[in-house]
């Protein structure tokens, strides 16, 4: 029978930068308990693999069903660097100063000048702009193809940061160590 398990373990701090890790390392495994396991296979999700976690689960389960292996997927350091449909794996969207100025200008142009956007209310203001612009498009006041371009930053959850894969590699090693103990 196919077994799926999720583990959360302590990994390691970034000793090079002297940054203490504040979150647990999550990894998931799949295997068929009726098979004689011959290997451990890691699937390393690429940049943006967190967009839809169900794809990772599907791949892991497919390999476990068809081969005599334990399949591991590690939600490694800075794994959540792209928008996800699952809020748990979603980075925070942070507008830069140019975005804030652009959005405040848009608010004035679409008769919502009584509102003012900042980093704290950014996520609440965007749906109001979308609603107003859609109303204007339906009324024929704005071209249907009109778009607003923003260049916001993605801030990964759990205090993660990009460090060229060093912490991610160590996370895979720590998951393997935990799995075989």
Per-residue model confidence as pLDDT tens digits over 140-160: 988 888 887 777 887 787 777
Q: What are 102-148's pLDDT values in tens digits?
A: 999 999 989 898 999 998 898 899 899 999 988 999 999 888 888 87
Structural domains counted in the chain: 2
85 and 97 housed in the same domain = no
Confidence of residue 45 (pLDDT cuts 50, 70, 90): confident
pLDDT at 162 over 80: no
| Two structure tokens written together for 148 | 């607003």
Supply the pLDDT for residue 71.
98
CB atoms < 10 A from the CB of 138, how many? Answer: 10
130 and 169 housed in the same domain = no
86 and 106 housed in the same domain = no
- Residue among 87, 104, 84, 91 at smallest CA distance from 150: 104
64 and 110 housed in the same domain = no
168 and 79 housed in the same domain = yes
Name the pTM for this structure: 0.73
pLDDT at 52 over 90: no
H-type alpha helices, 5-139: 53-66, 97-109, 122-138
77 and 127 housed in the same domain = no
Task: Report the run of H or E that residue 93 belongs to, with start and end.
Answer: strand 92-94
Supply the pLDDT for residue 144.
85
Q: What is the largest CA-CA distance in the chain?
A: 67
Mean pLDDT over 163-178 rounds to 89
134 and 163 housed in the same domain = no
125 and 138 housed in the same domain = yes
113 and 145 housed in the same domain = yes
| Two structure tokens written together for 128 | 């109001």
71 and 107 housed in the same domain = no
User: CA–CA distance from 155 to each of 47, 89, 105, 159 (Å)?
Assistant: 14, 11, 25, 8
61 and 36 housed in the same domain = yes
Q: CA gyration radius for the chain?
A: 22
- Residue among 51, 42, 123 at smallest CA distance from 80: 51
Structural domain boundaries, residue 127: 93-155
| Two structure tokens written together for 102 | 């652009």
Mean pLDDT (the chain) is 88
71 and 141 housed in the same domain = no
User: CA–CA distance from 25 to each of 76, 82, 122, 170 (Å)?
Assistant: 7, 18, 30, 11
Distance of CA 81 to the CA centre of its chain: 5
pLDDT at 48 over 70: no
């Amino acid at each position: 029978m196919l077994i799926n398990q999720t583990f959360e373990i302590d990994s390691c701090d970034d000793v090079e930068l002297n940054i203490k890790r504040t979150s647990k390392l999550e990894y998931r495994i799949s295997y068929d308990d009726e098979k004689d396991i011959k290997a451990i296979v890691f699937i390393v999700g690429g940049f943006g693999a967190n967009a839809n976690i169900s794809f990772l689960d599907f791949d892991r389960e497919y390999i476990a069903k068809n081969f005599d292996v334990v399949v591991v997927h590690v939600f490694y350091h800075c794994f959540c660097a792209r928008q996800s449909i699952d809020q748990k794996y979603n980075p925070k969207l942070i507008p830069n100063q140019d975005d804030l100025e652009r959005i405040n200008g848009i608010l004035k142009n679409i008769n919502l000048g009584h509102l003012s956007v900042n980093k704290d209310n950014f996520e609440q203001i965007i749906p109001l702009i979308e609603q107003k612009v859609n109303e204007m498009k339906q009324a024929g006041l704005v071209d249907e193809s009109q778009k607003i371009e923003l260049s916001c930053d993605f801030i990964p959850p759990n205090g993660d940061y990009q460090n060229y894969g060093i912490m991610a590699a160590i996370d895979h090693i720590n998951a393997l160590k935990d799995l075989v103990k």
